[in-house]
A and B are shown apart, each in its own frame.
Chain A
């Protein structure tokens, strides 16, 4: 049989250590993502609001509660049925809610300054929209591309940069 007298303290100690490590990792992670004002207190996100648009497609409280369902529903209608005239497209969101800051800086999704990321990090809800969708509106992309051909940050979309250059080179081609 197993010798319980040794097993118990061993278990307790390892439990303690792993819990401590877990807490340490957690607080580190939080501090890294959202500005933290101390142990356990995380700053409430202040998502950047577009300055040119007067109102969202729905009242604020509905958007807050339902945006995921609206998006999900329209997503399937678009992909499966080809209904593209809905109001609730992710592209639409990104057109208005271009991430803050100037044209020169690119704010990618996991950055807490990104409109979506602020709250999602705060609420710790993982989304994978931006694995396939652009995380900023087309206008912003073009603006960035015109302002600075060096859009690609280290490690960022090599492919898309090439696409841009190709598009630039091709204009007036046909």
Chain B
């Protein structure tokens, strides 16, 4: 196939493809082997790969703010959850914490925590559940077989299985019956804007100086998120499991 294409005049768009054609041929012959290239090539690059994360300041979030996060995510990705439905997907949800003794209440958004050692990636039989070089944990829906083992393994209940046929999905969030999905950290925005990206949930609640949901590079000590983590500290939910989530909480 590569030879056929070599004979044709090469345009820039095509050049990329021809470069990839050899890789593609390998993929076709030995599927599954090359696909992992990305997952493993992470740490040896000289330039530090970013690790994207969120710092969520629960003190700055009212209940309405958390609701705004949820509906912003729904708008961005086109998912919807009927109240009380046990089968509808929820990429992000509002948690209410009540202290059992004092009765004090807090609200926080809970979604995929983009762990450094994600249990969902470990257990996935096909490798469909994977972690990108930059730390974002995603489901490759082209290889997900819908076994739901990742949902069993996730400590945060962050994943949903799609129980029904869907139509008219949004271009940024293809999603379909029989596969599993979860928060993507708005990966399409990150691919476009890099360190300046603002995930939809953060966009919905950040006003003025203080960012209630701060997005940034955990690997870059100069980044705002690293600075704030350094000065204020933060909680990792279920830190006891050692999965090192990339989403951290302040004020818990």
A touching B, CB within 8 angstroms: yes
Partner of B140, one of A70, A79, A108, A133: A79
Closest to B12 in A: A87
Closest to B36 in A: A80
B84 within 8 A of A: no
Question: Is A160 within 8 A of B78, CB to CB?
Answer: yes
A138 within 8 A of B: yes
Query: In the complex, which range does the number of interface residues on chain B fall in?
Result: 35 or more
B223 within 8 A of A: no
A159 within 8 A of B: yes
CB distance from B29 to the nearest CB of A (A): 13
Question: Is A136 within 8 A of B190, CB to CB?
Answer: no
Report A58-91 residues with CB < 8 Å from chain B CB: 58, 62, 66, 69-70, 72-73, 75-77, 79-84, 86-88, 91
A76-B27, A82-B132, A132-B174 known; A108+B167 contact, CB < 8 A: yes
Question: Is A159 within 8 A of B166, CB to CB?
Answer: yes
Count chain A residues whose beta carbon lies closer than 8 angstroms to a beta carbon of B.
45
Closest to B37 in A: A80
Per-residue CB contact flags for chain B residues 104-130 toward chain A (1 = under 8 Å, else 0) read 000000000000000000000000001
User: Which label, helix, strand, loop or mixed, suits the secondary structure of the A interface?
Assistant: helix
Report the bound CA distance from A132 to B128 in whole Å. 15
Q: What residues of chain B lie closer than 8 Å to A73, measured between beta carbons?
A: 17, 20-21, 24
Q: What residues of chain A lie closer than 8 Å to B192, measured between beta carbons?
A: 84
Closest to A59 in B: B8
Binding site for A on B (CB under 8 A): 1, 5, 8, 13-14, 16-17, 20-21, 24, 27, 35, 38-39, 68, 71-72, 74-75, 78-80, 82, 88, 130, 132-134, 138, 140-142, 164-171, 174-179, 187-188, 190-192, 204
